[in-house]
Amino acid sequence: MQILFILIVLLALIYFPTKYVAEYFGAERTGFWAILLTLIINGFITQAVGSFIDNKLITFVIMLGIGGLLFQHILSAASYRQGFVISLLSQVAILVCFLVFAGTYSVVAT
């Protein structure tokens, strides 16, 4: 039950910042399913790129560019710059969630 709660909190920590930034930059599709679909596709592409490139920093930079196109297309952001900023915030939110999850898991495990 505790793991389910942690996963819901992590989803909220990724979803809500992405939603608010998408709304701020005027993306047309800011519904739950559009943003969730974009985040899931972004995760799959990140794993695919990460399997080809061992350096995590290079993977992060490449995913900022690809994520900008992804967010621009799926969320109907007006420009690539807007999609890029949404992607940047999304990637940072995911990084923070990994750190929170790792810290929470290490506390729960001990």
Contact between 41 and 21 under an 8 Å Cβ cutoff? The reply is: no
Provide the percentage of residues in the chain whose pLDDT is more than 70.
94
Mean pLDDT of 27-50: 89
Q: In this predicted model, which residue has the larger pLDDT, 103 or 68? A: 68
Q: What is the pLDDT of residue 64?
A: 86
- Say whether pLDDT at 67 is over 80: yes
Q: What is the pLDDT of residue 57?
A: 87
Dihedral angle of Cα 85, 87, 99, 104, to the nearest 10 degrees: 110
pLDDT band at residue 107 under the 50/70/90 scheme: low
Which residues lie below 8 Å from residue 29, measured CB to CB, with a gap of 6+? 74, 75, 76
Does the pTM surpass 0.85? The reply is no
Q: What is the pLDDT of residue 7?
A: 81
Provide the percentage of residues in the chain whose pLDDT is more than 90.
10
Q: What is the pLDDT of residue 105?
A: 67
- Rg over CA atoms, the chain: 14
- Say whether pLDDT at 33 is over 90: yes
